[in-house]
Amino acid sequence: MSQISEVKCPACGEWSKWTNKVDEKCPECSAYFNHGRVVYEEEKRINTERIKKDSYLITNDTDDPVVHMLKQFVNWLRWTTFYGISAIYFVIAIMVVVYGLVML
């Protein structure tokens, strides 16, 4: 099901079909119909990538061996903390189920 509607280009005023895509451009002057939304989507994507990068320290070859080891240790710690918490929740869930069965 594709929604096709007519849209007026904000740049040149030509009417054309709009398929509601984020990066829809005017066929006449190739201006974005919804520039604000394009920028917003792009910013959201960049922010998501930044958060992903920030959660792990990047190790460089130029790093001091000690710094390099420390960075790797911190990365390992973060990784194990994340999966450790998930594992604890899983164990608690199993314990609740087992406890419930015993009580029956």
Note the residues at the interface with Zn ion (CB under 5 A).
9, 11-12, 26, 28-29, 31
What's the rounded Cα separation, in Å, for the pair 79 and 60? 19
| 19 backbone φψ class: left, alpha, beta (φ>0; ψ -120 to 50) | alpha
Which residue, chain included where needed, has tokens 């201006």? 31
Nearest distance in Å: CB 73, Zn ion: 55
Return the number of the residue (30 or 86) whose C-beta is nearest Zn ion: 30
Return the number of the residue (29 or 85) whose C-beta is nearest Zn ion: 29
Nearest distance in Å: CB 87, Zn ion: 55
* Number of alpha helices (DSSP H) and beta strands (DSSP E) in the chain: 2, 2
22 within 8 A of 37, measured Cβ to Cβ: yes
Nearest distance in Å: CB 31, Zn ion: 5
Return the number of the residue (31 or 95) whose C-beta is nearest Zn ion: 31
Q: What angle do CA 102, 83, 69 make, to 5 degrees?
A: 145
Return the number of the residue (28 or 41) whose C-beta is nearest Zn ion: 28
Nearest distance in Å: CB 13, Zn ion: 7
